Amino acid sequence: MSGALAGQTALVTGGSRGIGFAISQVLAQDGARVAIVDIDEKGAVTAAARLEGDGHAGYFCDVGDPGQCRATVAAVTRAQGIVTILVNNAGITRDSLLVRMKDEDWDAVIRVNLTGAFNMTRAACRGMMKRRSGSIVNISSVIGLMGNAGQTNYGASKAGLVGLTKSVAREFAKRGVRCNAIAPGYIATDMTAGLDERTTGELGSRIPMGRLGEPSDVADVARFLAGPEARYVTGQVLAVDGGMAM
């Protein structure tokens, strides 16, 4: 397939729905072979089959498990080629006020959102460095920049991703591998679908642009950071939030 990303293999975690699927779609449209990696195996396989072009595939992987991440990157490399674009998008929430937060809710969110990105980056980086070419895009959140009552676990995991992004960017820069983060604001996906109308209205009023974002708003920025137009951009955190966190 032709396009700016032709010949590249993109691995997108949590890619079977929401923001991850929208990112998978734009990368496929630009010619990348996409590996959709998700804890929902059927969802990953079905989503990969819906992408434009050929050579895409879906894989089961719990990003919190380092062994599964290594095995998945090896399987993707065998079937689809060396991963040169990695999008660490898989994420979960387990919200509650800090005084009531259970140990398992803290651990689960850090494990998936932060350790998951570390696991995948470590598993995929050797191939990128060997190629002296790669782009890693971590999906953080404005909550990691601004904080939010009731989301101490989520906010810490997303702030941790900012530190991970900048450290990886510095460590890999001379090897031709870039690493950036996107901090989305409130985006209309399953993750935010549970919010009632009043909360959505209140949120909308706190967003200067006056509306929740769409997955495609984030996907277009991920496509930019992953692709050649961002060739001199590394270690950056780009808020995609309608002006919420400026």
Return the active site residues: 154
Q: How many CB atoms lie within 10 A of CB 118?
A: 17
Residue 7 structure tokens: 């010949």
Query: Which residues inside 20-49 make contact with ligand NDP, applying CB under 6 A?
Result: 20, 38-40, 43
**Do residues 138 and 88 make contact, with C-beta atoms less than 8 angstroms apart?**
yes
Q: From CA 27, how far away is CA 151, in angstroms rounded?
A: 31
Q: Which of 8, 12, 14, 85 binds ligand NDP (CB under 6 A)?
A: 14
**Do residues 149 and 40 make contact, with C-beta atoms less than 8 angstroms apart?**
no
Binding-site size for ligand NDP (CB under 6 A) equals: 30
Q: Which of 62, 125, 172, 219 binds ligand NDP (CB under 6 A)?
A: 62
Cross-strand pairs, 10: 34, 85
- 195 near ligand NDP, judged by CB under 6 A: no
Residue 22 structure tokens: 């929208």
Query: Which residues inside 72-111 make contact with ligand NDP, applying CB under 6 A?
Result: 89-92
Closest to ligand NDP by CB, 90 or 225: 90
Output the smallest distance, CB 221 to ligand NDP, in A: 12
Q: From CA 189, how far away is CA 213, in angstroms rounded?
A: 9
Q: Which of 12, 85, 112, 221 binds ligand NDP (CB under 6 A)?
A: 112
Output the smallest distance, CB 176 to ligand NDP, in A: 26
DSSP state of 245: T
Output the smallest distance, CB 33 to ligand NDP, in A: 19
Q: From CA 151, how far away is CA 148, in angstroms rounded?
A: 6
Residues forming the site for ligand NDP (CB under 6 A): 13-14, 16-20, 38-40, 43, 61-64, 89-92, 112, 116, 139, 141, 184, 186-187, 189-192
